[in-house]
Amino acid sequence: MEIPCLNDKNIYPDDKVLTRYLRGAKSTWDSFMDLLKTDYSLFSTEWRYYNDGKRWLCKTSKKTKTICWISVGDNFFRVTFYFGNKAEEIIKRSALDDKLKAQFLSYGGKFKFRPITIVVRKKSDLKFLKALIELKERIK
């Protein structure tokens, strides 16, 4: 069961707060942030409190294009990418893990945008994030 984290709008998720919640996943978080800075220098990240979900989310963007949304849980972080329906054929033909493809395809064409979410706990999970970022970059 997920323990609600970063749900106090008065506590900004700075490094100290992230360390408290991420614990063992903090080094993976740091590696992900380093990856964004070095391999995707045009990306920006912004923490914002969203009243509708009652929690802080980190939005990663390239200019006006949203790349992904990041939330923090107890000893993990979750990264969600949204792809439009026109991405279906590209995702089907991609080298993505079959479970990730199935996650996208399970929504069918019912929604304008469909999510693919990765729960990140260890550094080996970053390869999935990199693959999804590359896909997001390819799809206009």
Instruction: Note the pLDDT tens digit of each residue in 16-36.
Output: 999 999 999 999 999 999 999
- pTM for this predicted structure: 0.93
pLDDT score at 2: 62
What torsion do the CA atoms of 89, 93, 94, 97 make, to the nearest 10 degrees?
100
Is the CATH number 3.90.1150 carried by domain 15-138? yes
Instruction: Note the pLDDT tens digit of each residue in 76-128.
Output: 999 999 999 889 999 999 999 999 999 999 987 778 899 999 999 999 999 99
CA distances from 46 to 2, 52, 54, 58 (A): 23, 17, 16, 5
Helices (H), the chain: 15-22, 26-39, 88-93, 98-105, 126-138
What residue segments make up the domains of the chain, in order of their start? 15-138
Instruction: Note the pLDDT tens digit of each residue in 33-85.
Output: 999 999 999 999 999 999 999 999 999 999 999 999 999 999 999 999 999 98
